[in-house]
Amino acid sequence: MLKKMVTIVVVAIFTILIIIGVCAFLIFMPHKMSIDAVDVSQVSLKRDTAFIEGSVITSALFYSGYSYFTRDGNLYVTIRYGLMRSNYYGGRFSLTIQDEKLYNVQNVYLTDGKKEKKIYP
């Protein structure tokens, strides 16, 4: 009887820890933002620097960073979000990307891994 009770308690604690871990991942880890939830207000591209300004238009999500890559003369930018505020204020963002690979870039796209939207020129 005691062994069965200990097993139940251990399984319950393990289950609770897994649930807490999944919730923490969903809340604190940044995820790719849908391009439909991003409003870009300004984009400029000069030599090795790209500047992008905009905001997240979904009230429950907060800007938490970005990632980018270049391919075939194009710059692809992915906006990331979190469910809780981090060091950023609300949904507004201002990105300055400096990379020598940007010298050959002619177009800038916002992407979420599934879709892409041209935002420059």
pLDDT digits (tens, 9 = 90+) for 37-60: 899 999 999 999 999 999 888 777
Show the domain range for 96: 31-120
pLDDT digits (tens, 9 = 90+) for 8-41: 988 999 999 999 888 777 666 677 888 998 999 9
For residue 13, is it within any domain?
no
For residue 24, is it within any domain?
no
For residue 6, is it within any domain?
no
Threshold 0.85, pTM exceeds: no
d(CA 24, CA 11): 20
For residue 92, is it within any domain?
yes
For residue 15, is it within any domain?
no
Total structural domains within the chain: 1
For residue 3, is it within any domain?
no
For residue 110, is it within any domain?
yes
For residue 19, is it within any domain?
no
Asked if 83 and 51 touch (Cβ cutoff 8 Å), the reply is: no
